[in-house]
Copies of this chain bind each other. A is one copy, B any other.
Amino acid sequence: MVTTTPRLPPSIRPAKTPQLATPWYFFHIIFSGSMLGLLYAFLRYEEHSAISPLPASLALSGLCFSLTFCLVLWLGPSFKGRGLKGVDMAKRKKEELPECMGLVAAGVYLFAMLVFIPCCFYEYLVITGGGGNRDSEMEKHDQMGLRFPHNKLAQYLSTLFSLQLTIFLGLLDDLFDIRWRHKLFIPLVASIPLLVVYRVDFNVTSILLPESLARYLSIPPLLDLGSLYYVYMSILLIFCPNSINILAGVNGIEVGQSLVIGTALLANDLLYIRHPEHPAAPSHLFSVYFLLPFLGVSLALFLHNKYPAKVFVGDTYCYFAGMVFASVAVTGHFSKTLMTLLVPQVFNFIFSTPQLFHIIPCPRHRLPRYDATSDCQYASITTFTTPPKGLAKFILKVFEGLKFVKLTYDKEGRNIIASTNFTLINMWILWVGERDENGERRIREGRLCWSLMGLQAVCCAVGLGARHLFARAVFGRDNLGTGIW
């Protein structure tokens, strides 16, 4: 079409690309060089078809880190130029920062996962007949599809496909401000490929119940849920991305929590792949391949997004991260383990429900309130035009007793006139903040993020510990020998 392309006037085009600081510059050259070397060494190693492609995955993750770090820095001005920008309101100096940079991280991740396919399936592609010569006869045999694990490949591709769809829809969300009630279902659409392939490929729809419960209900402990299991997986796939998206609002917290959860999942996987003969080991290895590059790109993004943020990550990143967790848990069949790691997110969601369902008034934003004088964050407040009664009052009183919220009363001290908002972050400020001159709790944004990450780490450690130490007691066995969890 004969059109003035939506090209930007030169005035608002960035004059030049931001440059890396010198130490980072040298770090990335040396680091990515050695990672490339590692990858090359892996691919050159004659017998590498016999060993696991874990070193290749590690090398790729390192490359992902460097690439994401640089690209986020370099592409920031382009994103701002396209209107993907926002102002950080919790700073003295109000500056426009590029928004939606999670897209860059997710793009690098996708690309790395594509490049990884030949590494992951290399042993099936070429069979060396000794001495590094390709044995064309055996290779031919292979190409007939007799040995190549097409089901594994279909699983790998469908997971990637779902992730890409998530990123795509996340970007559309960031671009077009999709409504909240539609947003909720983005992960559901995106999980279709994953679930379809799960259906034709794996289709394990049983869950293991605690033995005592099974005895009590007189049902077998291995309960086949049938299609209900698909409903369960769909709920998980919707919950994960959205739960990360709502525990947000502080510099670095979206990426920070994802880093901690990802590391915990990785630690759990490593427990299994230490024992290659374990029946669940292959699916956990599969999960490692998806998590390592994720941690690589997330770490790079975190360095830009941590307090004081240089970029924002956008909904794209939150959906992407949640979908990575949910999809490895679904394909690896360890969804319950994942839930033990998401305790803060689950708590935050449940804690929020009274406001989400408008039992308690819900302001447009429930982020902590920034005080420019002290450069600190205070818990934000929702005020009541009429004093709460009935259920609302009951909930407020219970939460006050649990120290989840702080209530403000009128002069007579009888009617509640305000309450802190019902989010984990506000509650956390009430718990760990220092008192200001008026006795109100406040905390610096950087500390808030780090302490929340600490909380996440503690929860993950406790969850994983409980999962492996107490599972035997509750379920009669840890999942040795069944591969089902």
Q: Which residues of A are interface residues toward B (Cβ below 8 A)?
A: 1-8, 78, 82-90, 97, 99, 110-111, 114-115, 117-118, 121, 124-125, 143, 145, 148, 150-151, 153-154, 157-158, 160-161, 164-165, 167-168, 171, 175-177, 189, 192-193, 196-197, 199-201, 203, 248-251, 305, 309, 312-313, 367-368, 370
> In the complex, which of the residues B78, B86, B118 contacts A6, with contact meaning CB atoms closer than 8 Å?
B86
Q: Are B86 and A4 in contact (CB under 8 A)?
A: yes
The answer to whether B157 touches A200 (Cβ under 8 A) is: no
Chain B residue numbers with a CB within 8 Å of A164 are 161, 164-165, 168
Q: Which of A168, A313, A370 has most B Cβ within 10 Å?
A: A168
Contact A5 B177 (CB under 8 A): yes
Q: A2-B367, A153-B154 known; 14 other A-B pairs, CB under 8 Å?
A: A1-B248, A2-B89, A2-B368, A3-B86, A3-B89, A3-B312, A6-B86, A8-B177, A114-B193, A117-B193, A150-B201, A153-B197, A157-B158, A164-B168
How many copies the complex holds: the figure is 2
Q: Which B residues lie within 8 Å of A121 (CB)?
A: 200
User: Can you give 15 A-B contacts (C-beta < 8 A)?
Assistant: A1-B86, A1-B305, A1-B312, A6-B86, A7-B177, A114-B193, A115-B192, A125-B200, A150-B153, A150-B154, A157-B157, A157-B161, A157-B193, A161-B161, A171-B171
A191 to B: closest C-beta gap in Å: 10
B200/A148 in contact, CB under 8 A? yes
- Expressed in whole angstroms, the Cα–Cα distance for A313 and B1 within the complex equals 8
A121-B200, A193-B157 as given contacts; A176 in contact with B78, CB under 8 Å: yes
